[in-house]
Amino acid sequence: MRPDLVESYLSRRAALGLAGRAAVAGGVAATGGALAPGIAAADSTTTNTPADTMADDTTADGAADDSPFDYSDLAAWAPSRYGPDDQRGSLNEITPETTARALRLVRDAREVRTYNLGEVMWNGFPGFVTTPPRLYEQRLTIGGYTSPRFEAEGGIVQFREPLGSNRLSLHEERFAAVASPGHTRQYSTTYQLGVQLDGLNHVGCGEYFYNGHRGPEIDELYGTSKLGAEHTGPIVTRGVLLDVLGVKLATGDDSALGPPAANGAPVLASDYRITLRDIHDAMDFGGIGRFEPGDAILFRTGWNQLLHRVDRQPDPADIDRWMGSGGLPGIYLREARYLARHRPALIGSDTWALEVLGNPVNDDGLVFPVHQDLLMRFGIRIAESVVLDGPARDRLHTFVYLVTPQLAEGATCGNTPPAALGAPRR
C-alpha cells in the first residue's frame, strides 16, 4: 500500500464531501452488477451529473447493462443525435465554449507542463494481428554522401553526390512492405498502430456503420467516402484521467494487479474488468466532481509499461502479454454505456483495445462489442495506447487534452500522439 497515495485519496474525498460515497459505490458489484436498492436513476437528459449522484445505471437509451444491442433495427440507432448527415459524432460536443473552459484549467497556473501521451514507434512495434499485417518497419534513405556500412547492410541510397554548389545532402524515411496470403500486392504500414484515435468508419455491424452509412456505399480503394479521418479535425478539450491503477496501489488492492512488467512497473491484471465502482473511485481519487460533454475520458492501467525496452530490445514475455495472450484490462458494455450517457468526445486507455478481453464476460460470443457500441451507436471515438504515466505521476487528473490527427481522406484513424497541458500537483 502507498501511504502517500492513500493520504491524497482520502483528502480528495473529504474535499468533495464524499464521505458517504463508499456506501453508494459499495452497491455496485465488482463485476458490474446491480446497484444498491434505493439509488434513484438520474434524468436521462442530464449530462453534467455530479460524481456523488452518478451511481445510476441508466443511459439515454435505457439500462446500462451488458446485453447485446440489436443493430438490425436501423431506426433504433440511426440517425444519430447529431443529425442524419453527421460525420463527427460526439466531437460535436467540443464547442468553442468547451475549449475555452478547458483552457481555463491552466489560465492562472504559474507552471504549465506539457506531457507527451504517445508511444515511441519502433520497428516491429506490435499490433493486433490482421491480414495484411499491421506493420511498422521504417527504413532510412540517404542522399548526398556515401556510407559503405549503411549500403552493406542494405540501406537505401537515393543519390551519392551532393546537390548544387552548396552540396546539399538529405535523409528521408520509407516504410517496408510485405506480401500477404491472398493479396497480390505488397502493403506497408497503417495508422492503426501505436497511440491512435479510432474513426467512426472503423467498426460496424455487418454492412452498417455510424449513422446508418452502408459499407458498400462508402468503401473506396483509398478509404471510405464518409466518416474518414478528415472529419476529425483538431481537438482541444478537457482531459479526464481515471487512474484505476493508482487507486488499486493506493488502497492495497493486490487482487486487481497482475505480475509486474519486466521493468518492475505495476500493471492491472490481464483480464481485469474496470467496473462502475472503479470509475467512481477513480473520480474520487482524482478529485473529479463530474463528467462534462466533450471530455476526453482516459483510463490508466499501466499496460504501456509492457512495451519498455532495454537497449532497444523489448521483453518477449511482456510483448506477448501486451498483445493479449492472457487478456486485456478494460471496461465492458455496462461501463461504456454509462460513460456514453455523459456524451464525451472520446474514451480511451493505455491498452490497445480499451475494452476488457479474456474475462468471463467475454464468453458471450461478442467480438469487440464496446467498439461497436461506442463508435457505431453513440458516435464516440476510441483512443488507444495513450501513455498516461506523466499526468498520473504529477497527480494531474484534469488537464487540457489536445491532438491533431492526420488529415488523411478516408482513413480509419489517426495516430499522431496527443498531448496534455496542466499544472502539476506534486
- Kindly report, residue by residue over 246-291, the tens digit of the pLDDT: 999 999 999 999 999 999 999 999 999 999 999 999 999 999 999 9
Which residue ranges does the chain devote to CATH 3.50.30.50? Answer: 3-121+194-422
- Pick left, alpha or beta for residue 27 (phi over 0 → left; psi -120 to 50 → alpha; otherwise beta): alpha
| pTM for this model (two decimals) | 0.84
Q: Output the pLDDT for position 11.
A: 55
Instruction: Tell how strand 346-349 and strand 296-299 pair up.
Output: parallel
CB 211, CB 78: distance < 8 Å: yes
What b/e string do you get for 261-284 counting C-beta neighbours within 10 Å, with b at 16 or more? bbeeebbbbbbbbbbbbbbbbbbb
Instruction: Tell how strand 381-384 and strand 346-349 pair up.
Output: parallel
Q: What CATH number should be reported for the domain whose range is 3-121+194-422?
A: 3.50.30.50
Between helices 244-251 and 276-286, what is the axis angle to 10°?
80
Quote the cell numbers at residue 102: 478547458
Q: Output the pLDDT for position 145.
A: 96
Q: Output the pLDDT for position 45.
A: 35
Q: Output the pLDDT for position 14.
A: 53
Please confirm whether the linkage preceding 132 is cis (ω < 30° from 0): yes
Quote the cell numbers at residue 221: 480503394
Beta carbons within 8 Å of 69's beta carbon, 6+ residues apart: 77, 369, 372, 373, 377
What b/e string do you get for 357-389 counting C-beta neighbours within 10 Å, with b at 16 or more? bbbebbeeebebbbbbbbbbbbbbbbbbbbbbb
Q: Output the pLDDT for position 47.
A: 39
Mind listing the pLDDT tens digit of every residue in the chain (426 residues)? Answer: 555 555 555 555 555 444 333 333 333 333 333 332 222 233 333 333 343 334 444 444 445 899 999 999 999 999 999 999 999 999 999 999 999 999 999 999 999 999 999 999 989 888 988 888 888 889 999 999 999 999 999 999 999 999 999 999 999 999 988 888 888 788 888 889 899 999 999 999 999 999 999 999 999 988 999 999 999 999 999 999 999 999 999 999 999 999 999 999 999 999 999 999 999 999 999 999 999 999 999 999 999 999 999 999 999 999 999 999 999 999 999 999 999 999 999 999 999 999 999 999 999 999 999 999 999 999 999 999 999 999 999 999 999 999 999 999 999 999 999 999 999 886
| Cα 109 from Cα 21, distance rounded (Å) | 30
